[in-house]
Structure 1
Amino acid sequence: MPGIIVSDTSCLILLDKLGRIDLLESLFGEISITGIIAGEFGKKIPGFIKIENPKDKNYQRILESLLDPGEASAIALALEREESLLIIDEHKGRREARQLKLNYTGTVGILIVAKEKGLISSVTEILDEIQRTDFRLSEELIQEVKKRSGE
């Protein structure tokens, strides 16, 4: 298990829209977000989510030249903590995380793990729910996820 789980805003918003934000608690116990992400989420933060800001704001400032403030703060926090897992969906943010050699996944990756652990019975059902939101998934990603989850 990673030392800290850091989530960007999109995962929280999407899982909240689907009524499945509790999957994060079931999988990880506690996750961390930054104050910026809490503001972007715009709702009461569930008790299993801890607000923690990066201590060194230099990483964050540099990353903000490339990414939105929430993504930049999440990556900066993940960089400060050993054995972190970053949950990030946006392509540019994932690219930066990869270049910085961070461990990362996305919301869809969380669904695969949730199915593996028996927390959900069907990834396909949730992918269908996601398609009815404003969150966009490529057909290629949908097929890859179904294959990886055995559906």
Structure 2
Amino acid sequence: MIVISDTSILNAFYKIRLLALLPALYGKVIIPQKVYDELMADDVLANWLSSAHPHWLAIHPVQRSQTVEHLLVDMDAGEAEALTLAQEISADVVLMDDHAGRRIAQELGIPVIGTLGILLAAKEEGLIPAIRPVLVDLTEQTKFWVSESLLNSVLKQANE
């Protein structure tokens, strides 16, 4: 399975100390150079990347810079490169929460999984016992926000 991630997913899962879910669920995760640059711009994440050298995280350059430029109208550079890279290497899925990025991915026919989908999969695989406490951590430690109706839907799917 070819999985590409944008910055926000990696950042969120790092902050709640659950980055290990990503390789457990997907094996290798690929990021474009701009996502790597965005991660390195954060001192804490840069320190983690420099010291941990995660074997499951691979950097892959984007070839079609014109496609990236076109997508920058609707999203930031990391998301634009993630979607462009997904097209270039025929990725199976992109890990992304950004609403505009998800909308464009859908228009391009690129499957997307967000934080909630990752958490549902992790619970289904027995990697976490419950989603609710993770969502509490997410909302307290990151800028993650979810509507009450979506939250209830996810918790219902998770039998919580």
Give the structure-1-normalised TM-score: 0.93
Q: CA deviation at 1:78?
A: 0.5
Answering whether residue 157 of structure 2 is matched by residue 148 of structure 1, we say yes
Shift of 1:22: 0.7
Q: How many residues align?
A: 149
Residues 1:136 and 2:139 aligned together: no
Structure 2 portions without partners, runs of 5+: 41-45
Please tell me the root mean square deviation across aligned C-alpha atoms, in Å. Answer: 1.2
Task: Tell me which amino acid in the other structure corresponds to 1:137.
Answer: V
1:1-151 to 2 correspondences below 5 Å: 2=1, 4-42=2-40, 43=46, 44=49, 46-133=54-141, 134-151=143-160
Q: Distance in 1 between matches of 2:135 and 2:9?
A: 14
Alpha-carbon distance between aligned partners in 2 of 1:104 and 1:54, rounded to the nearest angstrom:
19
Q: How many Å apart are 1:83 and its aligned residue?
A: 4.5
Q: For the residues of structure 2 that align with 1:149 and 1:53, how far apart are their CA atoms?
A: 36
Gap regions ≥5 residues in structure 1 = none
Deviant stretches of 4+, over 3 Å: none
State the shift of 1:145 in Å. Answer: 1.0
* 1:6 partner SS: strand
Q: Displacement of 1:81 after TM fit?
A: 2.1
Which amino acid in the other structure matches residue 112 of structure 1? L
> Residue type matched to 2:137 in 1?
E
AA paired with 2:63?
K
Q: Alignment identity in percent?
A: 34
Distance 1:140 1:71 in 2: 26
TM-score of the superposed pair, with normalisation by structure 2? 0.88
* Aligned residue type for 1:40: E
